[in-house]
Amino acid sequence: MEGDSLDLTLVGKLKIENHTGSITINNVYYSPDASCTLLSAFSLHLGGGNVQVNSEGNASVHFDNGFYIQSLCIHCCWQIPALVLPGYPPAVFVPPAKPINPLKSIEGCDKSLTILSASVKQSDALMWHRRLGHVSLKRIIKMCVAGNLPGLPDKLTNKDFVCKDCLLSKSKRTWGMRFLEDHILQPMYIIVSDVLGPFAEGFSGVQYLVVFRDLSSTYSEGFLLKAKKDVCLTFKWYIE
């Protein structure tokens, strides 16, 4: 619902089984307070699923191994009728797919059920490192111990991760390095920029952050903006 938020605490695999076969979906996020699991139609397509929608708006997904499921169009959303059973890991039961008139597949679903078993694991350190804006592992561990951030696990796994983005950003560039075959890069010759936002408007009305970086000296400077249209004027002021 709009204005509500849930804590994502686990990531793992979701295995869906019924009389037609089974599939396993990787990188499924789990929240103990969520009432349903969102399945991306695009992810199912990348996994080999053939997504079809009939004239009534109901969808079915078929896989090459013979496995298929159906969902009903309810309030402009595709939903699989399900019964969520509490536990760890949680269990979700859904009725099997019926090729003829999927609107009637809700009735009598207790005769033949499909079971979805979730295999979850503690969130690894790399995922939280990225979620928290590439915060250091030491800082994340302190936050876990202190319990400052709801949703963080008590312990982290995969602590020996390597963040390629951080390695690239921390790499050193030789001052005045050769940029082209016949040209040496000079200060203020090439400026790269990045605009972040919009963020939730604060008391001062700031919604954007623009960063300018000189490739030669690697000097960077950031500016807070109220509107995205101010980027060009800010850049003009920066180079002057």
Q: What is the pLDDT of residues 169-205, one digit of tens each?
A: 666 655 445 455 556 677 778 888 888 888 887 768 8
The pLDDT > 70 percentage for the chain reads 56
Strands in 91-94's sheet, in edge-to-edge order, are 21-30, 10-18, 114-122, 91-94, 83-85
Rounded distance between C-alpha atoms, residue 10 and residue 88, angstroms: 11
What phi, psi does 168 have (nearest 5°)? Answer: -70, -40
pTM, full prediction: 0.33
- The pLDDT score that the predictor gives to residue 96 is 47
- The pLDDT-based confidence of 228 (bands split at 50, 70, 90) is confident
Q: How do the domains of the chain map onto residue ranges?
A: 10-121, 123-167, 172-239
Mean pLDDT of 114-141: 68
User: Which residue, 102, 3, 96, is CA-closest to 52?
Assistant: 102
User: Is residue 198 a contact partner of residue 207, using CB atoms and an 8 Å limit?
Assistant: yes
CB atoms within 10 A of CB 78: 19
Say if residue 140's pLDDT is above 70.
yes
Rounded distance between C-alpha atoms, residue 118 and residue 63, angstroms: 20
Say if residue 214's pLDDT is above 80.
yes
- pLDDT tens for 15-67 read 777 777 777 777 676 666 666 666 666 667 777 778 777 766 667 788 888 88
- The pLDDT-based confidence of 1 (bands split at 50, 70, 90) is very low
Rounded distance between C-alpha atoms, residue 73 and residue 89, angstroms: 28
Rounded distance between C-alpha atoms, residue 14 and residue 118, angstroms: 5
Rounded distance between C-alpha atoms, residue 162 and residue 147, angstroms: 25
Q: Where are the strands (E) in 123-162, listed by range?
A: none
Say if residue 89's pLDDT is above 60.
no
What phi, psi does 170 have (nearest 5°)? Answer: -90, -5
